[in-house]
């Protein structure tokens, strides 16, 4: 399998996970089970879906859209992201979503940061309390653009892509974990090694943002990987839903994605279907898990029927994005 297959796998896995979780996002686990059973295929957003009402099956959400936006800025900036340009791009993305009648708008940390920016605050402090999963959900392109052999450059790029909205130890650690796992996966590291890299990167990333109270991301990923090993799929789902948590907090949903990658890493379809059925921030958990497992298994390792639908419904053309990011990777390694 080539580096390009794995890089394409990362973005494709992100999109498939996002689309699988689209109809279940923000619902409870009990309600998802009652309505759908296990969500192992692409479903329409129901009329009363709180964030994605009436969205056709296979539709992606903010996770993939913001990741592609970040990818475009990275490519245009030759590997650097200007925080103010990124903030402006996020704002115009939201305006476009409003025009399209979408209820899928900026998350809480990003909204607050952009308001502060308008009020004249420095981009160094606008993200001072962003502890949700927004930086982690969109960061996969950084892991494609930067190889694992230059962890400092990778971390600097994660910080640049995160700080305007999520300039906290928790926000940056969680984004660092995802970027590092994708970067190592694209390099062909093998899943255990890629998840070890995620732990290391999270520990380094935690030191790069404002301190906000919360369980340490690296420690929580290390703990959950050990805990879920050997669990059945049902035990794993209970463990993640009941103990790790599936809220938008980075310390819950991002750790949940790594728990699924550890426990069901050999079977991306099962991992993403489980994520979509857990309740809470299902689309983001599945998107992050999809990026990590897609980087490891490559595009051929993803459920091909689901991927074909997601590509068609959203008119995705991921190959040029992947090529642009891999051009950067060759410059930086």
Kindly indicate which of the ranges 58-66, 79-87, 142-150, 161-169 contains the residues binding Mg ion, using the contact rule CB under 5 A.
Answer: 58-66
Q: Transcribe 260-292 into DSSP letters.
A: HHHHSTT-HHHHHHHHHHS-SSHHHHHHHHHHH
| Residue 25 beta carbon to Mg ion: minimum distance, rounded to whole angstroms | 6
Distance CA 57, CA 60 (A): 9
| Residue 108 beta carbon to Mg ion: minimum distance, rounded to whole angstroms | 13
Kindly indicate which of the ranges 28-36, 228-236, 283-291, 295-303 contains the residues binding Mg ion, using the contact rule CB under 5 A.
Answer: 283-291
**How far is residue 55 CA from its own chain's centroid?**
20
Token readout for 161 is 């892509």
Comparison of 63 and 196: residue with beta carbon closer to Mg ion: 63
Q: Of 202, 317, 316, nearest to 255 (Cα)?
A: 202
Comparison of 197 and 283: residue with beta carbon closer to Mg ion: 283
- Can residue 283 be called a binding residue for Mg ion (CB under 5 A)? yes
| Residue 109 beta carbon to Mg ion: minimum distance, rounded to whole angstroms | 14
Q: Which residue in 12, 49, 61, 66 binds Mg ion (CB under 5 A)?
A: 61
- Can residue 62 be called a binding residue for Mg ion (CB under 5 A)? yes
Comparison of 194 and 249: residue with beta carbon closer to Mg ion: 249
- Can residue 262 be called a binding residue for Mg ion (CB under 5 A)? no
Contacts (CB under 5 A) with Mg ion, residues 232-251: none
Helix axes 282-297, 62-76, angle to 10 degrees: 50
Distance CA 331, CA 21 (A): 35
Kindly indicate which of the ranges 55-63, 166-174, 186-194, 233-241 contains the residues binding Mg ion, using the contact rule CB under 5 A.
Answer: 55-63
Comparison of 20 and 114: residue with beta carbon closer to Mg ion: 20
**Any bridge partners for residue 210, and if so which?**
168
- Can residue 197 be called a binding residue for Mg ion (CB under 5 A)? no
Q: Phi and psi dihedrals of 231, rounded to 5?
A: -70, 150
Comparison of 61 and 126: residue with beta carbon closer to Mg ion: 61
Segment (H or E) for 106: none
| Residue 151 beta carbon to Mg ion: minimum distance, rounded to whole angstroms | 28
Token readout for 145 is 């653009």
Evaluate whether 143 touches 183 at the Cβ level (below 8 Å).
yes
Comparison of 63 and 262: residue with beta carbon closer to Mg ion: 63
- Can residue 64 be called a binding residue for Mg ion (CB under 5 A)? no
- Can residue 176 be called a binding residue for Mg ion (CB under 5 A)? no
Distance CA 118, CA 90 (A): 13
Helix residue spans in 100-239 (DSSP H): 108-118, 134-138, 140-145, 151-166, 169-187, 191-206, 217-228, 233-239
Comparison of 64 and 126: residue with beta carbon closer to Mg ion: 64
Binding site for Mg ion (CB under 5 A): 61-63, 283
């Amino acid at each position: 399998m080539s580096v390009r297959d794995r890089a394409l796998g990362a973005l494709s896995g992100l999109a498939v996970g996002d689309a699988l979780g689209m109809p279940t996002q923000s619902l409870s686990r009990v309600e998802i089970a009652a309505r759908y059973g296990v969500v192992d295929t692409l479903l329409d957003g129901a009329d009363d879906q709180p964030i994605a009402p009436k969205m056709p099956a296979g539709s992606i959400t903010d996770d993939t859209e913001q990741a592609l936006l970040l990818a475009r800025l990275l490519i245009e900036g030759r590997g650097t992201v200007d925080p103010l340009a990124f903030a402006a791009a996020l704002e115009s993305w939201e305006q476009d979503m409003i025009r399209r009648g979408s209820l899928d708008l900026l998350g809480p940390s990003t909204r607050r940061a952009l308001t502060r920016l308008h009020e004249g605050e420095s981009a160094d402090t606008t993200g001072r309390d962003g502890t949700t999963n927004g930086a982690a959900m969109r960061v996969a392109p950084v892991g494609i653009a930067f190889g694992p052999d230059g962890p400092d450059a990778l971390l600097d790029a994660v910080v640049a892509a995160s700080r305007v909205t999520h300039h906290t130890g928790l926000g940056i650690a969680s984004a660092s974990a995802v970027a590092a796992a994708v970067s190592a996966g694209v390099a062909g590291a093998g899943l255990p090694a890629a998840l070890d890299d995620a732990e290391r990167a999270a520990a380094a990333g935690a030191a790069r943002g404002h301190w906000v109270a919360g369980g340490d991301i690296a420690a929580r990923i290390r703990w959950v990987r050990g805990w879920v090993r050997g669990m059945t799929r049902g035990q794993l789902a209970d463990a993640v839903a009941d103990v790790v948590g599936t809220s938008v907090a980075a310390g819950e949903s991002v750790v949940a994605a790594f728990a699924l990658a550890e426990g069901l890493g050999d079977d991306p379809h099962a991992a993403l279907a489980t994520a979509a059925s857990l309740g809470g921030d299902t689309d983001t958990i599945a998107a992050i898990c999809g990026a990590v497992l897609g980087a490891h298994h490559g595009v051929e390792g993803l459920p091909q029927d689901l991927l074909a639908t997601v590509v068609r419904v959203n008119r995705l053309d991921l190959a040029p994005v992947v090529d642009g990011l891999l051009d950067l990777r060759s410059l930086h390694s």
